[in-house]
Structure 1
Amino acid sequence: MIDTQIDVINKLGLHARASGRLIEITTKFRSTIQIGKGDKLVDAKNILSLLMLGAGKGSTLRLVIEGVDEEQALQEVQALFAAKFYEAD
């Protein structure tokens, strides 16, 4: 199990388009992927749950991944956040 933190650094935060891109990645994996603030974790494969987080720029989120492909899932999620969801600044 991986339990780490990830920072939201893109200008608009985890809005609809960014959440959609995150789901494109998370749904490829068999591992369970949860994200949230503190103990309030949601399914990172569910767009409504992601939108309800209200994670704006500067938020630090907890990322919990568990399963057979957890390392690859972590790498891809981190890369997406680092690339600011491929949005223009």
Structure 2
Amino acid sequence: MVKLHLKRCGKRQRAVYRIVAIDVRSRREGRDLRKVGFYDPIKNQTYLNIPVILYFLEQGAMFNLEELFKIFQRRRVSLWNFALINKQQTKFN
């Protein structure tokens, strides 16, 4: 199973986070399947590769609501697509 989450990078006291798709069985800082964006909390910059994120969500990837949902909201990403995907996942479970 694949999970989207934040991977910490950067120097001490200067954290930058990559948004990555990673296998659940690997470590948090382990090898990622694909980089799908980044988040810089100090400069308040974000980059999201929306088509790739939607692809992984369609394939059944999970993501942490607290971390990534806030980033998606800040970027004003249409969460309608995410709602449809989550609705389909609950229908099959």
> Comparing both structures, which one devotes a greater share of its residues to strand?
2
Q: Give the TM-score normalised by structure 2.
A: 0.26
Q: Give the TM-score normalised by structure 1.
A: 0.26
Q: Which has the higher contact order (CA 8 A, sep 6+)?
A: 1
Q: Looking at CA atoms only, which structure, 1 or 2, has the larger radius of gyration?
A: 2
